[in-house]
Structure 1
Amino acid sequence: MNVTSGQEWVRGQFPRLDWLPDETLFSLCSRQHLVMGNLDPATTSTAVLGLSEKFIKHDIPCGIAALEQNGFHYWGSAESILLHHTIFSVFVPFQNKIKIEDAIITIKGDRIDSLKYRLGLVSSGFGAEHPLKACPYCMREDVDAHGIAYWHLTHQYPGVLICPRHQAWLMVSTKSRRWSGRFEWSLPTKDCLIQQASSQKLWLRPAFLNLANNVIDLAVIGRVMSLESCTVAATYRKAVLQGGRSASLLDRIEPLRRFHLFESLPEDEKSTESFMNQLIRTPRRSI
């Protein structure tokens, strides 16, 4: 079966799924894969995105411009899907307009190439891997309300390790990882979810809840605008003058450093002072 006939077969034979509340693109594609009854993830990937299974990406996708061409235009425009159904918007605020436009062109195309490197994710110290996460309470509610558990966008943002709705620690998927199910469509199930870290019981829930809410707010900002870097630095300088400088920041960082994602944050007074100096000086590049 060629690609064209395969697309016609999808449109003619299977129900047209639409977005569930707070759903990611990867999740909707995974549900579409399920109702299509395909055994091979490449069949769904080709029919929906026009790409082979090697281009299945759960965090920052590519090929989304093909959705309109392949009969999935009712999901919305490429820009709308990108900003409202992927984690891309959380990276927008601290990028300049040229980088944002370049990233959107890349994501619409058929290759992701070095996008994460160009956005500064690889060199940021926080890593560029974004494992799928799910809240067991949300999963239970989703099954009751919609008949199926799915991936929530607010859970997928980097830095969100706790469910803002239930204040429960998110579990992480063993699928869509370099070492397991890398090129597969998947939905959250108990069998594929594990605890994020063995030290999870020691984490301070209020600190991570506050962080999660701030990250989600940042993503909302990223849907409409990017921040002027000089203004951001000036805001940091004003806050430093009003606050207790490094000691106050170090106290806030300490409970977060227990999780490996934040191990690169300052660990003592000296490194915290250096970190703050980087924040308040006029930036030379986007991080």
Structure 2
Amino acid sequence: MLAQFPVLYPDEDFRSIVYRYHVLSGNKDFSVTNSDLFNRKNYDNTVFPRNLSYLMMRLPSDFIPIEKFLHDHTYFCWLRPFIPSNRLDSIMDEIMFNKGESNIVILLGKGSGKLLSENYRYCPACIANDETLYGEVYLHRKHQLSFLTCCPEHGYELLTQCTNCGVKFENSLVTSSLCVCGFDFSKNDKEQKRLDSIKSEQELLLNFEQLSKSRENLEEILLKMRNVLGLKGYMKYSGRMNRKNLIEDFMVYLADNNYNRFLKIDVNSQIKTDAYILSGHQVKSIIFYILFMMFLSGSVEEFLLDNSAFSIPIPFGNGPWICHNSVCPEFNKPIIRKCIRIDHQGKYISGLFGCPMCGFCFAKRWRFTDKGEERPYAVLTMGHLWNSILADLHSSGFSNTEISVKLNTTPTQIQRALTRIRTPKLDKRIPQSLNILWSSLSLHNEVATASEVVSHFNENRVRIIELLRKNVCITRTELAKKHSHLYHKMLREDRKWMEQVLPSSKRNKVRIDWERLDKHYSDEVIVAADEVYRKNPSEQIKKYTILSYAPKFIKEHIEYASEKLPKTIAMLNSRIETDEQYLLRHLPVIISQMKKYNKKVYSLKNVKTFSPMYRKSTEELDKQLIIQLNDLMEKG
């Protein structure tokens, strides 16, 4: 049990609590303070606690619940909604037991996109109030949020240094209103801003607080975001976003509300792909997500309360559909029972329809923005019945005009149809659609023949092969320039075959030799691990401890392409220090500390009394520890 611990103040930053204990304890070295509170020999006052359970065990049981401590005095409540469910347990293990390396600090952002200010910040009015109410000054969490320039309550510009002597607060926190130079911080002469001039800062803070009170996890937030995007018309039928309109509207919203100054990142890069914004794997800025929720629903609170579901109607309905061929026995009757729907990269859906009675085929387009409006159809082929009647009438001596009346069309269309009969070459705009349609209908026994289908793919494949044969050294770029329509058409319709026959792209010519890199990285990990163990750090040697001694690019490759580096990963895991290995290696340090504090070192029981982490030792490990302890005692 700790002999003394400071009273916790409203919205007090965790770092302030630790610092006030440090001052109260009289410890000269901050590592001693960290050892007292968290059983960690660390010289830094970190943003998040590590091994918080150790501190809680040394405080009265009714002092403060752990969850309330994390919510009221750390930035965990601001970050929790953006932590994937599969990472939450590892992060809690790091905070509570100093176990693993979850890198929770990454969510705070980096560079210009950081959520927290680089320097400690104070409001002069809050300093005066705190000293009056509590007799001392402390660090307020809200003041550290990077998007705030002024205190949201008083309007004073936040201080990062003494305005008299210029000494920054970065090296030591403030616990009194007086600077070492004698200047009273609360008497700061900077002008108080009107609260309405910092309205946008207050609004953003309010929305942050709304999210911090929510219990929804990242997956639920992203699903809700997808629904709202769909309801707002930003989602295509394919499930992808309409990025252009979304970015334009979002940028207008930011400018109109004076929010664009808060967003230090490039919006285009954050909404670069659906995977960035709707997966959460590439969260670059929490502020971006807060502003994005405000843009979609007006406020974070309204966004969280919105339980609307987004769904897309079935394009062209469920059928059946009517035949538009006037010579068909089933004309204007719902005879067509199958529709082939084709997604055109989310831009629109095309529907292919074929009458099983007369062979009449047509196509229609559908867009989500049509709102149920009926679009005209385009004829693919009039069908075998219509064509046979045309041929009979023409051979009987009827003129084009007379035939057009009987077939309910125009003389021009009759002339074109007769030309196609004489020259059996199908319109190149429609053969693929006919191929897809008739193949599908044939499988369902809805047609008896597919005689009108031309092997469009085979024709174009022959053309591509011929071009490659005549131009042996041609590149993809040159082929695309000289035969743009054919090249891009075949890439859309027959990409797999094209990739097999086309010359290698420049992008594929220089491939990363992952096998060679894996061997090299594995050797580098061995060197790094040896160096770490040689230095004998006081902390347990874990994955990122070793990687910190290895070249930086190895860590980057492991994070983004670990599946391609099996040897490196295996070697890294084999060099990570287990709990048992750490207890054995760290025993000399513990003995040294015990002697420093004049503690008796007679047995392993004394060690376990002094250092709680040794209480988790197994019976087998105890035997090894006793042997090592005896050796250390003999050596003096």
Secondary structure class of the residue paired with 2:213 = helix
Which of 245, 256, 272 is the equivalent residue of 2:249?
Answer: 245
| Structure 1 position 122, deviation (Å) | 4.5
Is 2:60 the counterpart of 1:60? no
Q: Which amino acid aligns with 2:64?
A: G
**Which segment drifts farther, 72-81 or 86-95?**
72-81
Amino acid at match of 1:233: R
The correspondence for 2:130, drawn from 126, 142, 148, is 142
Does residue 237 of structure 2 align to residue 233 of structure 1?
A: no
Partner of 1:164: 152
Supply the distance in 2 between the matched residues of 1:120 and 1:169 (Cα, whole angstroms). 26
Aligned position for 2:91: 103
Aligned to 2:29: 40
Output the CA distance in 2 between the equivalents of 1:141 and 1:124. Answer: 33
2:281 is equivalent to residue 285 of structure 1 = yes
Give, as a single letter, the amino acid of the residue that structure 1 aligns with 2:252.
Answer: S
Give 3-state SS (helix, strand or coil) of 1:164's partner.
coil
For 1:225, give the aligned amino acid: E
Distance 1:215 1:122 in 2: 16
Shift of 1:279: 9.4
- Residue identity opposite 2:114 in structure 1: G
**TM-score normalised to structure 2 length:** 0.34
Partner of 1:126: 113
- 1:94 match: 82
The alpha carbon displacement at 1:276 in A equals: 8.8
Partner of 1:215: 208
Deviation of 1:142 after TM superposition, in Å, equals 0.4
CA 1:37 to 1:282, structure 2 compared with 1: closer, same or farther past 3 Å? closer
Distance (whole Å) between structure 2 residues aligned to residue 92 and residue 70 of structure 1: 26
Question: Are residues 280 and 109 of structure 1, via their aligned partners in 2, closer, same or farther at CA, if it must alter by over 3 Å?
Answer: closer
Q: C-alpha distance in 1, partners of 2:115/2:97? A: 20
Structure with more relative contact order (C-alpha pairs < 8 Å, separation 6 or more): 1
Offset, 1:22: 1.7
1:263 to 2:232 alignment: no
User: Is contact 2:122-2:160 (8 Å) kept?
Assistant: yes
Separation (CA, whole Å) in 2 of partners of 1:114 and 1:122: 15
Answer with 1 or 2: which has the greater Rg: 2
- 1:6-27 Cα offsets, whole Å, 9 max, x none, are xx6x51xx4x422112222222
Unaligned segments of structure 1, at least 5 residues: 1-7, 194-200
Deviation, 1:41, is 1.9
Q: How many residues align?
A: 249
CA contact (8 A) 1:25 1:85 kept: yes
Q: Is the 1:160–1:208 Cα contact (8 Å) retained in structure 2?
A: yes
Runs of 4+ in 1 over 6 A off after TM superposition: none
Give the Cα separation in 2 of the matches to 1:246 and 1:62: 38
Letter in 2 for 1:263: K
Work out the CA distance in 2 between the residues paired with 1:166 and 1:86.
23
Q: Which moved more, 1:142-151 or 1:32-41?
A: 32-41
> Are the structure 2 counterparts of residues 234 and 256 from structure 1 closer, same or farther at C-alpha, using a change threshold of 3 Å?
same
Residue pair 1:160, 1:215 contacting (<8 A) in 2 also: no
Distance 1:140 1:115 in 2: 37
Deviates more, 1:148-157 or 1:64-73: 64-73
- TM-score, normalization: structure 1? 0.69
The 3-state SS of whatever aligns with 1:144 is: helix
C-alpha spacing 1:256/1:189, structure 2 compared with 1 (3 Å): farther
> Displacement, 1:87?
0.8
CA distance in 2, matches of 1:156, 1:124: 15
Distance 1:54 1:256 in 2: 38
Tell me the alpha carbon deviations over residues 101-137 of structure 1, each in whole angstroms, 9 at most, x when there is no partner: 22111111336845136x5444797137643322221
The verdict on how the C-alpha distance between 1:112 and 1:88 changes in structure 2, with shifts beyond 3 A counting, is farther
Q: Which amino acid aligns with 1:226?
A: N
* Aligned ranges 1:170-189 → 2 under 5 Å: 170-172=158-160, 174-176=168-170, 181=171, 187=175
